[in-house]
Homo-oligomer: A and B are copies of this chain.
Amino acid sequence: MTKQIRLNAFAMNCVAHQSPGLWTHPEDRSSDYNRLPYWLDLARTLERGRFDGLFLADVLGVYDVFGGNPDAALRNAAQVPVNDPLLLVSAMAAVTENLGFGVTCTLSYEPPYPFARRMSTLDHLTDGRIGWNIVTGYLDSAAKGMGKASQNAHDDRYNVAEEYMEVVYKLWEGSWEDDAVQRDKARGIFTEPSRVHRVQHYGENYTLDAIHLSEPSPQRTPVLYQAGTSLRGKLFAAQHAECVFMSGPSAKVIAPRVAAIRALTAETGRDPSEILMFSMMTVILGRTEEEAAAKHAEYRRYINHEGALTLMSGWTGVDFSTYDLDQKVEHVHNEAGRTAMDNITHADPDRTWTVREVAEHVGIGGIGPIVVGTPEQVANAIEDWVAQTDVDGLNLAFAISPGSFEDIVDLLVPELTRRGIYKSAYAHGTLREKLFGAGRARLQAPHPASSFRPALPSAIAAE
């Protein structure tokens, strides 16, 4: 069978997400992000297009590197205001049956005990359609919101994350046996107490002595997403992630990352084909080439350079407000800034890029490639991209929302389906079963979560 391409919609509980300025486009509705109808309509549209999931980004802080304050972020709605993504899920689950939800939650600022209950609750309410994008936090402004002078050092955050994962695995996988809940009305027994186990954890960062508060949910552990790009991040992904999300403008940037994570995954003993790689892409579709090009040109008129560079500054830590828009990228003197810019200019290395041009690339959908054309042309580009990078799917960013997703559903999905590279119907079962096959609702060995099951008494103290 031809390799099937997976599609996630990439969005955030904020205005415009990764297309600063495009919220001013007359057809964009993303400034209604704070109203339920916007999300219910989006969820219905995505399910109509058989999207695997809606991937919701999040930051618990503001982009205040650009100019040294949050003014540019606020003015341009560059991911601020930003509301909590987790609270959108149950409403969207109520109007869909198959769409998955991959939600970003920053573990650094969320104690594991209530967090584990939150995810279990959503796994129940969605009938097993919840995923968690594990993030350790990257904005100093978020740390300041939590009463710290700055965030923890990068590798230290991953050490904390490792222990956090151990605690939540113990709660999700180890506390309640599968047959603990009897729901036996005749005998009057809801739960058989001997099959519920106390989790006792005394670690460097977390201490816990409690049973998990939720009964086992369809997936127990939510589907685990991760987006690490550093070596330590890749290692974390190789150990824990079931889906990896990455962004880069060209196959040249993405292909080695995919290969590196698959290799690391194999080293951990896991099947490297069973860690699904999603790379970011923005597609702009028209019924004809001219229509697509005209749409692209129109979107470009709404790009907000300051907003785009505000995001770039937050991502890289370099204050791009100190650079002239027409400065050539090779003259950006800051090392980190150069690297970030080079990362974008890989998309077209023969061209001489200016800061403005980089902002205009990032200004529609972020760092991924922008593919413009007819459904046939875009499908060709996607097939080439998959062949060159070995990704399993795409996280599709939007120029305007829900317009970009409606175009994908109405124009691109039929073409991908016709080519046999996209599902013609959803598979049954939980999100994990839809992604990995029937009977795979729960994580299996050798994934580390499986080692915390009650069958292994070393991990769990029986009551």
Q: Which residues of A contact B (CB under 8 A)?
A: 13, 15, 21, 23-24, 26, 31, 34-36, 40, 60-62, 69-72, 74-77, 80-84, 86-91, 93-95, 109-111, 113-114, 117-118, 120-122, 124-125, 127, 141, 144-147, 181, 183, 185-186, 188-193, 196, 206-211, 213-215, 217, 304, 463
Of A15, A83, A145, most buried by chain B (CB within 10 Å of CB) is: A145
CB contacts (< 8 Å) of A90 on chain B: these are 36, 87-91
B69, A463: Cβ atoms closer than 8 Å: yes
Of A36, A81, A113, A122, most buried by chain B (CB within 10 Å of CB) is: A81
The interface residues of chain A, by DSSP majority, are classed as mixed
CB-contact partner of A147 in B13, B193, B208, B214, under 8 A? B208
B74, A190: Cβ atoms closer than 8 Å: yes
Of A26, A69, A89, A211, most buried by chain B (CB within 10 Å of CB) is: A211
CB contacts (< 8 Å) of A74 on chain B: these are 190-193, 196
CB-contact partner of A111 in B94, B109, B191, under 8 A? B109
Across the A-B interface, the 8 shortest Cβ-Cβ residue pairs? A77-B190, A147-B207, A145-B210, A90-B91, A71-B193, A34-B124, A113-B145, A83-B121
Within the complex, what minimum Cβ distance (angstroms) separates A32 from chain B? 10
In the assembled complex, the Cα of A76 lies from the Cα of B118 at a distance in Å of: 23
CB contacts (< 8 Å) of A26 on chain B: these are 185
User: Contacts A88-B90, A109-B114, A114-B60; is A188 near B121 (CB within 8 Å)?
Assistant: no
B193, A75: Cβ atoms closer than 8 Å: yes
Give the oligomeric copy count. Answer: 2
Within the complex, what minimum Cβ distance (angstroms) separates A58 from chain B? 10
B122, A213: Cβ atoms closer than 8 Å: no
CB contacts (< 8 Å) of A87 on chain B: these are 86-87, 89-90, 118, 121-122, 125
A60, B113: Cβ atoms closer than 8 Å: yes
B118, A191: Cβ atoms closer than 8 Å: no
Within the complex, what minimum Cβ distance (angstroms) separates A344 from chain B? 23
Of A76, A147, A196, A215, most buried by chain B (CB within 10 Å of CB) is: A147
18 further A-B pairs in the complex, CB-CB below 8 A; given A24-B188, A72-B193, A87-B87: A34-B125, A36-B93, A40-B94, A60-B113, A62-B210, A75-B190, A75-B191, A77-B191, A81-B181, A82-B117, A84-B121, A86-B87, A87-B89, A88-B125, A90-B91, A111-B147, A144-B208, A145-B210
Within the complex, what minimum Cβ distance (angstroms) separates A99 from chain B? 14
A183, B62: Cβ atoms closer than 8 Å: no
In the assembled complex, the Cα of A90 lies from the Cα of B24 at a distance in Å of: 27
**What are 15 A-to-B residue pairs whose CB atoms are below 8 Å?**
A13-B121, A60-B117, A62-B213, A75-B191, A81-B213, A81-B215, A83-B213, A84-B118, A87-B122, A90-B90, A91-B93, A94-B94, A109-B114, A145-B208, A145-B210
CB contacts (< 8 Å) of A185 on chain B: these are 23-24, 26
CB contacts (< 8 Å) of A144 on chain B: these are 208-210
CB contacts (< 8 Å) of A125 on chain B: these are 34-36, 87-88, 91
A36, B77: Cβ atoms closer than 8 Å: no
In the assembled complex, the Cα of A122 lies from the Cα of B84 at a distance in Å of: 9
Within the complex, what minimum Cβ distance (angstroms) separates A79 from chain B? 10
Q: Which residue of B lies closest to A117 (CB)?
A: B84
In the assembled complex, the Cα of A210 lies from the Cα of B82 at a distance in Å of: 13
In the assembled complex, the Cα of A110 lies from the Cα of B146 at a distance in Å of: 11
CB contacts (< 8 Å) of A193 on chain B: these are 69-72, 74-75
CB contacts (< 8 Å) of A207 on chain B: these are 147
CB contacts (< 8 Å) of A71 on chain B: these are 193
A80, B213: Cβ atoms closer than 8 Å: yes
Q: Which residue of B lies closest to A196 (CB)?
A: B74
CB contacts (< 8 Å) of A127 on chain B: these are 35
